[in-house]
Amino acid sequence: MNAPAASFPTTAMPHDTPPDTPRPTPRLPLPEGSLQGLRVIDLSRVLAGPYCTQILADHGADVLKIEPPVGDETRGWGPPFDAQGTASYFHGLNRNKRGCTMDLTDPAQREALLAMLADADVLVENFKTGTMEKWGLGPQELTARFPRLVYARITGFGADGPLGGLPGYDAAIQALAGLMSVNGEPDSKGGEPLRVGLPVVDMVTGLNAALGVSFALIERQRSGRGQYLEVALYDAGLSLLHPHAANHLMDGRIPGRTGNAHPNICPYDTFATATEKIFLAVGNDKQFATLCRLIGADDLPGDERFVSNAQRSRNRVALKERLEAALARFECKPLADRLVREGVPCAPIQDVAAALADPHTQHRGMVVELDGYRGVASPIKLGRTPASYRLPPPKRGP
């Protein structure tokens, strides 16, 4: 990592500081994370970029989030809001970061940014294509001026091609990249295409950006040189199409919607019980045989219609009828607990509150509490250099 230097801001500045001067929050003692000593300038807003930099920050990077004077727009994406009027949406993506406000349309503040970049390892931005170039801060200029800098750009569609340079948002990418076409109840049940109920494209774009930054930093250890990398929401959306894309590329058929059922595996769906529905995710013949034994349907594994996954998939309607007839004798939650302990993947369907309050969630330390902030913890569990939680999301600058 680069050696410390005074131009990377380390302390907050007083409130009477002129408005053209960045005011980062104080730096805390260095954590013992795997990215300790890594310095990141985060110019990104909304979701994919901030999620990328929060991953880096959780694992020890010193991330300085620089917002425009109006702030990151997700500060207003509520309710709910905190006492200062900042939305929960912003809180979920920006912990462990120091913060300041800069107006990069001002040449003097661009010079201040350049001074910070002299000591930074990584820059992450998701401005509209061409904006950074217009300011003289594009990847060609910055990687030439700072040869060790890893410059990560997040875009909607990339810079060129038929859709190059156009803005992209998660739901629109879900529609265009085919995700909505395979999500929802089938036509036979009156279904229509639905977006996935969380911003999956943005989040996987952020994950890929964090991976890309990590790859570039590992390569820099060999070459001594940083590099430019780009992650586009459109590409990330297409990458999520498994197994639907693999199926289509093999047999040419256009995948349709199957509701909760898996297109390639059976039984892999929701099933009615005597109480609420259970989700069964049975992936092999042994699991199927165990399921049938435990619910008193021992004849099903020997039925030629159900002897293999391929046969079960071809006869899924008949199989669902037989399974639900047997499952009608059981309550969902006790059955789910018994099945999973016998090696049959399954679960009751919990809401968000129940999932966050689940004893296993608490055991895994997956809810963070810090100075009034609460959030979902890092799922990456490194044994020697675990994630740490040091700073709540930065307050909005003046």
Which pLDDT tens digit goes with each residue over 36-57? 999 999 999 999 999 999 999 9
Confirm whether 270 is domain-assigned: no
Please state, rounded to an integer, the average pLDDT across all residues of the chain. 91
If asked whether residues 51 and 104 sit together in one domain, one would say yes
Summarised one tens digit per residue, pLDDT across range 292-340 is 999 999 999 999 999 999 999 999 999 999 999 999 999 999 999 999 9
Predicted pLDDT at 187: 86
Q: Looking at the structure, do residues 127 and 198 belong to the same domain, yes or no?
A: yes
Spatial distance between the Cα atoms of 274 and 282, rounded to a whole number of angstroms: 20
Say what angle helices 285-294 and 332-341 make with each other, to 10 degrees: 130
For residue 32, what pLDDT is reported? 72
Confirm whether 153 is domain-assigned.
yes
Q: Where residue 371 falls among pLDDT bands split at 50, 70, 90?
A: confident
40 forms bridges with which residues in the sheet? 63, 122
Q: Is residue 16 part of a domain?
A: yes
Please check whether residues 307 and 374 belong to one and the same domain. Answer: no
pLDDT(17) > 50: no
**Final residue of a structural domain among 348, 363, 378:** 348
Range of the domain at 298: 278-348
pLDDT tens digit sequence for 146-181: 999 999 999 999 999 999 999 999 999 999 999 999
| Residue range 228-243: mean pLDDT, rounded | 97
Within-domain flag for 118: yes
Instruction: Report CA dihedral (355, 358, 362, 367) to the nearest 10 degrees.
Output: 20
**Tokens 């435990």 label which residue?**
294
Residue that is written with structure tokens 């007083």 in the block: 14
Q: pLDDT-based confidence at 108, cuts 50/70/90?
A: very high
Do residues 115 and 35 both lie within one domain?
A: yes
- Asked if residue 246 belongs to a domain, the reply is no
Same-domain status, 203 and 304: no
CA distance 386 to 286: 37
117 plus 137 within the same structural domain? yes
Does residue 249 form part of some domain?
A: no
Question: What percentage of the chain carries pLDDT values higher than 90?
Answer: 89
The secondary structure of the chain in percent helix, strand, coil, rounded to multiples of 5, reads 35, 15, 50
Provide the domain count of the chain: 2
Q: Would you say residue 254 lies in a domain?
A: no
What is the reported pLDDT for 277? Answer: 97
At residue 203, does pLDDT exceed 90? yes
Candidates 24, 52, 37, 35; CA nearest to 153 is 52
Give mean pLDDT, residues 211-239: 98
pLDDT at 9 over 90: no
CATH number of the domain bearing residue 15: 3.40.50.10540
User: What value does the mean pLDDT take over residues 71-85?
Assistant: 95
Residue 267 lies in a domain: no
Tell me, yes or no, whether 15 and 57 share the same domain.
yes
Residues 175 and 282 in one domain: no
296 and 191 within one domain:
no
Tell whether 57 and 103 lie within a shared domain. Answer: yes
For 363-377, what is the mean pLDDT?
Answer: 94
Residue 18 pLDDT exceeds 50: no
- Claim to verify: residue 161 and residue 282 sit in the same structural domain: no
**Rounded CA separation 190/174 (Å):** 21
Residue 364 sits in the same domain as residue 336: no
What residues are labeled active site? 202
* CATH classification at residue 337: 3.30.1540.10
